[in-house]
Amino acid sequence: DQQVKQNSPSLSVQEGRISILNCDYTNSMFDYFLWYKKYPAEGPTFLISISSIKDKNEDGRFTVFLNKSAKHLSLHIVPSQPGDSAVYFCAAISGNTGKLIFGQGTTLQVKP
Amino acid sequence: NAGVTQTPKFQVLKTGQSMTLQCAQDMNHEYMSWYRQDPGMGLRLIHYSVGAGITDQGEVPNGYNVSRSTTEDFPLRLLSAAPSQTSVYFCASSASGITDTQYFGPGTRLTVL
């Protein structure tokens, strides 16, 4: 059973526009959420995180929104740049299990 | 700092062979973990360690063994390789726990024939 789901395998946006990547989760015990970015032939790198006590966290062009009632989070990238083209993984942690659970990933392509 | 290093980068095995994937970090991190990435599945946790001498199972531990004799090293052993273990394997480390930023290695691409 996939506890963290990224239902869009891919997304294509124009340079300068907003990219919105979505993630849904099923486990109400998750209390910390993260986004990782992955380029081909490299390991994932941490991008941004949010605690379940918040509903928004910003870091430069990247903003993560958390809607706990809907068990949904999203990553906004504004403005999108060609260098943002990568696979983006949503991940969640349950404090009582100590395990990091990843979604399937969404491939973002930003066109010049 | 080299960060998290993994060897080998690529490996082809025959069914039934055994091998060890190496992982090392030079950041004095306590927490280390192994993931596998399969198409459409994201990354799945195999085993993790919260410190030297302590290991525990993740989501998909069957067919894999780990040990943590030093802070720096966290090898992953495949005892008898199966085609279902064809995957890309990532090692990660963090300073003290799962909520700390995880630093991933570049991965090992394993094919089991």
**How far, in Å, CA of A60 to CA of B8, rounded?**
36
What percentage of chain A carries pLDDT values higher than 90?
Answer: 87
pLDDT (average), residues A20-39: 95
Yes or no, beta carbons of B90 and A42 under 8 Å apart: no
Q: Is B60's pLDDT higher than 80?
A: yes
How many other C-beta atoms are found inside a 10 Å radius of the C-beta of residue A18?
Answer: 13
Please list the residues that pair with A30 across neighbouring strands.
Answer: A94
Rounded mean pLDDT of chain B? Answer: 94
Distances (CA, A) of A51 to A73, A80, B43: 11, 24, 21
pLDDT (average), residues B18-24: 97
pLDDT (average), residues B22-30: 96
What percentage of chain A carries pLDDT values higher than 70?
Answer: 97
**Band of residue A21 on the pLDDT scale cut at 50, 70, 90:** very high
Rounded mean pLDDT of chain A? Answer: 94
**How far, in Å, CA of B72 to CA of B82, rounded?**
28
**Band of residue B44 on the pLDDT scale cut at 50, 70, 90:** very high
How many other C-beta atoms are found inside a 10 Å radius of the C-beta of residue A65?
Answer: 17
Backbone torsions φ then ψ of A84, nearest 5 degrees: -80, -10
Structure confidence at residue B105 (pLDDT):
97
Yes or no, beta carbons of A105 and B42 under 8 Å apart: yes
Yes or no, beta carbons of B90 and A41 under 8 Å apart: no
**Band of residue B83 on the pLDDT scale cut at 50, 70, 90:** very high
**How far, in Å, CA of A80 to CA of A15, rounded?**
5
Chain B contact present for A40, CB below 8 A: no
Nearest to A102 among B4, B43, B97 (CB): B43
**Band of residue A99 on the pLDDT scale cut at 50, 70, 90:** confident
End-to-end Cα distance, chain B: 36
**Band of residue B90 on the pLDDT scale cut at 50, 70, 90:** very high
Q: Is A79's pLDDT higher than 80?
A: yes
- In this predicted structure, which of A19-33, A53-67, A94-108, B30-44 has the lowest mean pLDDT? A94-108
Distances (CA, A) of B107 to A62, A63, A71, B47: 26, 28, 31, 15
**Band of residue B97 on the pLDDT scale cut at 50, 70, 90:** confident
Looking at A1-112, list the stretches that DSSP marks H as alpha helix, in order from N- to C-terminal side. none
Give the residue on B whose Cα is nearest the Cα of A8. B40
Q: Is B24's pLDDT higher than 90?
A: yes
Looking at chain B, list the stretches that DSSP marks H as alpha helix, in order from N- to C-terminal side. none
pLDDT (average), residues B63-74: 97
Structure confidence at residue B1 (pLDDT):
73
Q: Is A74's pLDDT higher than 90?
A: yes
